[in-house]
C-alpha cells in the first residue's frame, strides 16, 4: 500500500504522474464522449416519425 506525506507527492505518483493522470484524463474524455454520442443518437432516433404499423396499430382498430 502506498502512503503519501503530501498532496504534491500524491499528484506526482512516484514519478509516473504523466502516465497515471494522462490515463485518467483519457478515460474520462472517452466515457464523456460516449455519453454525448449516445444522447445524440437517442435524440435522432426519437425525432424520426415512425409509421403506425410499427406499433401494431392499423386503421381498422
| 61 residues of the chain, pLDDT tens digit each | 678 789 999 889 888 999 999 999 999 999 999 999 999 999 999 998 877 666 666 665 5
Residue 31, domain member (yes or no): yes
Coil, strand or helix: which one is 25?
helix
Residue 57, domain member (yes or no): no
* Number of separate domains in the chain: 1
Residue 20, domain member (yes or no): yes
How many other C-beta atoms can be found within 10 angstroms of the C-beta atom of residue 48? 6
Residue 38, domain member (yes or no): yes
What is the predicted pLDDT for the residue at 48? 86
Q: Which residue range forms the structural domain that includes residue 28?
A: 16-47
Q: Which residue has cell 416519425? A: 49
Residue 33, domain member (yes or no): yes
Residue 28, domain member (yes or no): yes
Amino acid at each position: 500500500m502506498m502512503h503519501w506525506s503530501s498532496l504534491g507527492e500524491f499528484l506526482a505518483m512516484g514519478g509516473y504522474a504523466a502516465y497515471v493522470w494522462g490515463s485518467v484524463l483519457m478515460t474520462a474524455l472517452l466515457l464523456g464522449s460516449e455519453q454525448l454520442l449516445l444522447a445524440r443518437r437517442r435524440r435522432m432516433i426519437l425525432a424520426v416519425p415512425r409509421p403506425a404499423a410499427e406499433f401494431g396499430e392499423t386503421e381498422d382498430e
